[in-house]
Amino acid sequence: MAQLTSLTVSRRSQEIMTPTPVYDSYWNFAAERHAVYERRLAQPQGPWTDDPILAAYRFTNTYRAADRVSQYLIREVQYRPGRSQAPAELFFRTLLFKIFNKIETWELIEAQLGPVSWQSIDLDAVSALLDRAMANGARIYSAAYIMPSPQLGHARKHANHLALLARMMDDGLSARVERARSLAEVYELLSPYPGLGPFLAFQYAIDLNYSNLLDLSEADFVVAGPGALDGIAKCFEHADGRSAREVIEYMVDVQDDEFAARGINFKGLFGRKLQPIDCQNIFCEISKYARVAHPEVPGVSGRTRIKQLYRPSARVEPAPFFPPRWKLQIPMRSPEFRGGRQPVQGQLFPAA
């Protein structure tokens, strides 16, 4: 394990924070969880890790864009051949999908009402369809985010969300977002709308930036969610007075050195380095991981167990697809996989 010493958080401020043992686990977790992703692409049957915590519980990918729902958004909702690339259509499809953040809900809407298009959609029909789905026991929202209901005069949360999206479209928000010159500006345009709040507004800015609507750097702006704040508190002592954004940007800056210090040959997402959104995401996941690996480190959330168990699936995922402008070189099958299952990196914490 790498030696834990005081760390300089910012070259500008020269402020010092002291890492806990969870800081070391942050980098090991990031590497091993990404290795699991790569092994799964090469060998869908598994197993993909010897780490007992990663094998037992569900964790998102190290790279946000590689997660199943993000992949569906990028491939099917934003870039599928035949879908309009007009700014208003890209904005509408992206936010309609992300409000529910559930593939099954999107597919239900398209199966029953036809291809989603702002020009032709009947939002009252969508609301009625979702009413019927809920009456039949379907869950129309993902559990990934807490989705508060904007108070727009409807009894059902989904009807209020559809009304919110209609308000955004009527306000011409898609055109203003298209003219934005930074993620921070997109965030400022989204965040005043009811029911979003800082974290969702930032997440939606990232999602819109995957599409052809925008071409902005992910490196310039980040907002930490509640899980990331807990992860930061677990990774560092005496962090008072230092912003979460500053800490996340620090992690982006030092990633090469920290992986190298642990003897990890981290090649990133087909050559793409960790971005602030990814480091924010890892803080959220290490918050959960540490509940089992480091129960002595309390954090700030007060949570002590991981709720979601990992359940193997026979589902075969499509080949990875990322925004074309990223220009990632995605091999069909890496040479190291040709002889069978890639040797695992190993578990992060040996079993007692």
What ranges do the domains of the chain cover?
7-66+224-328, 80-211
Residue pair 64/278 in contact by the 8 Å Cβ criterion: yes
More confident residue, 123 or 311: 123
In what order do the strands lie in the sheet containing 16-19?
7-8, 16-19, 236-237
pLDDT band at residue 4, thresholds of 50, 70 and 90? low
User: CB within 8 A of 125, min separation 6: which ones?
Assistant: 113
Tell me the C-alpha distance between 242 and 283, whole Å: 16
Tell me the C-alpha distance between 338 and 352, whole Å: 34
3-state secondary structure of 18: strand
| pLDDT exceeds 80 at position 98 | yes
More confident residue, 332 or 257: 257
Q: What is the mean pLDDT of the chain?
A: 89
Residue pointed to by tokens 């780490």: 51
Residue type, 225: G
The pLDDT assigned to 351 comes to: 38
Beta bridge partners of 237: 18
H-assigned helices in 136-192: 157-170, 173-178, 183-190
**What letter would DSSP give residue 269?**
B
pTM for this model (two decimals): 0.89
Q: Taking the CB of residue 90, how many other CB atoms lie within 10 A of it? A: 25
The pLDDT assigned to 232 comes to: 96
Tell me the C-alpha distance between 184 and 206, whole Å: 10
| pLDDT exceeds 50 at position 340 | no
Buried b (16+ CB within 10 A) or exposed e, 185-211: bbbebbbebebbeebbbbbbbbbbbbb
| pLDDT exceeds 70 at position 349 | no
The pLDDT assigned to 333 comes to: 54
Structure confidence by residue, pLDDT tens digits, 245-262 = 999 999 999 999 999 999
The pLDDT assigned to 343 comes to: 33
In angstroms, how far is the first alpha carbon of the chain from the final one? 17
Left (φ > 0), alpha (ψ -120 to 50) or beta: where does 302 sit?
left
